[in-house]
């Protein structure tokens, strides 16, 4: 029981809350671009150094997820351990390595309110997904050979490869100490403005497939709802800033949008 509610029901409410937040987030970010990175602007209250902001935003994905995972009855089972490894493979890097790889962050900040909002969402999502894989979901050893798990793993790794490659291309646009923006070129950048977001969305749909679960799907949908519209905002920003920005390049999905 949690707050007097049977845990399965409580978890289901939390999962549907995450899906509801996906809808709210998508509407909000279509109307107002989240104020960080190139879209950072004043008027959002106290600010925090952007590198520290990234670590604060993302730490629940590693620590809250890990803590909730460890409370589960199936924490030592093979498939839950595999799923934990997949998750942490992405998030340990994103939380503790990625912020230190970024270039040109000297003097850059983000609103504390954005970092705190992300902490709340990431904690909710950590509960929804970690509790599912180590306690509420049923993953016996034969799940390892299930087509959904194998396909999900392939999709996840493909997305991860695209995301980390695309993030590296952006980093390499700046020499150490540079802070400005240039047009990224080559590979998937010839087709879309934000292959890093595309890769991230693919990754979490891979997770949804590998877990074949509503919690996994809720996070994949939330990710698409959050960064999908931002790809549109970034694309419009490039078109405005660079008169020679490639006109055939789409926002997020090659040849389509």
Ligand X SMILES: NC(=O)c1ccc[n+]([C@@H]2O[C@H](COP(=O)([O-])OP(=O)(O)OC[C@H]3O[C@@H](n4cnc5c(N)ncnc54)[C@H](OP(=O)(O)O)[C@@H]3O)[C@@H](O)[C@H]2O)c1
x/- letters, 4..43, toward ligand X (CB under 6 A): ---------------------------------xx-----
Q: E-assigned strands of 67-116?
A: 109-111
By CB under 6 A, name the one of 10, 44, 96, 181 that touches ligand X.
Answer: 181
Q: Is residue 51 involved in binding ligand X (CB under 6 A)?
A: no
Q: 13 vs 100, which CB is nearer to ligand X?
A: 100
Q: 116 vs 173, which CB is nearer to ligand X?
A: 173
By CB under 6 A, name the one of 163, 193, 213, 233 that touches ligand X.
Answer: 163
Least gap, CB of 76 to ligand X (angstroms)? 28
Q: What's the 3-state SS for the chain?
A: CECCECHHHHHHHHHHHHHHHHHHHHHHHHHCCCCCHHHCCCCCCCEEEHHHHHHHHHHHHHHHHHHHHHCCCCCCCHHHHHHHHHHHHHHHHHHHCHHHHCCCCCCCEEEHHHHHHHHHHHHHHHHHHHHHHHHHCCCCHHHHHCHHHHHHHHHHHHHHHHHHHHHHHHHHCCCCCCCCCCCCCCHHHHCECCHHHHHHHHHHHHHHHHHCCHHHHHHHHHHHHHHHHHHHHHHHHHHHHCCCCCCCCECCCCCCC
Least gap, CB of 185 to ligand X (angstroms)? 10
Q: 10 vs 237, which CB is nearer to ligand X?
A: 237
Q: Is residue 47 involved in binding ligand X (CB under 6 A)?
A: no
Q: Is residue 211 involved in binding ligand X (CB under 6 A)?
A: no
Least gap, CB of 232 to ligand X (angstroms)? 13
- Residues that bind ligand X (rule: CB under 6 A) add up to a total of 19
Site for ligand X in 96-115 (CB under 6 A): 102, 104, 108
Binding site for ligand X (CB under 6 A): 37-38, 102, 104, 108, 163, 167, 170, 173-174, 181-182, 184, 196-197, 200, 223, 226-227
């Amino acid at each position: 029981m949690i707050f007097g509610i049977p845990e399965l029901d409580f978890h289901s409410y939390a999962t549907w809350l995450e899906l509801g937040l996906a809808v709210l987030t998508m509407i909000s970010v279509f109307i107002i671009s989240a104020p960080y990175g190139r879209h950072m602007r004043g008027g959002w209250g106290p600010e925090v150094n952007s590198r520290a902001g990234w670590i604060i935003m993302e730490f629940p994905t590693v620590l809250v997820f890990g803590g909730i995972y460890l409370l589960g009855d199936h924490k030592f089972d093979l498939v839950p351990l595999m799923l934990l490894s997949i998750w942490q493979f992405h998030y340990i890097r994103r939380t503790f390595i990625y912020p230190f790889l970024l270039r040109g962050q000297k003097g850059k900040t983000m609103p504390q309110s954005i970092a705190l909002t992300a902490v709340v969402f990431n904690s909710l999502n950590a509960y929804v997904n970690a509790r599912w894989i180590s306690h509420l979901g049923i993953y016996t050893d034969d799940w390892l050979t299930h087509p959904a798990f194998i396909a999900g793993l392939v999709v996840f790794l493909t997305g991860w490869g695209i995301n980390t490659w695309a993030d590296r291309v952006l980093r390499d646009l700046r020499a150490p100490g540079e802070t400005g923006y240039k047009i990224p070129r080559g590979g998937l950048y010839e087709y879309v403005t934000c292959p890093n977001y595309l890769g991230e969305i693919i990754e979490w749909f891979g997770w949804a497939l590998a877990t074949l679960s509503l919690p996994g799907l809720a996070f994949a949908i939330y990710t698409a709802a959050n960064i999908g519209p931002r790809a549109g905002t970034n694309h419009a920003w490039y078109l405005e800033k660079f008169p020679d920005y490639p006109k055939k390049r789409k926002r997020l999905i090659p040849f389509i949008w």
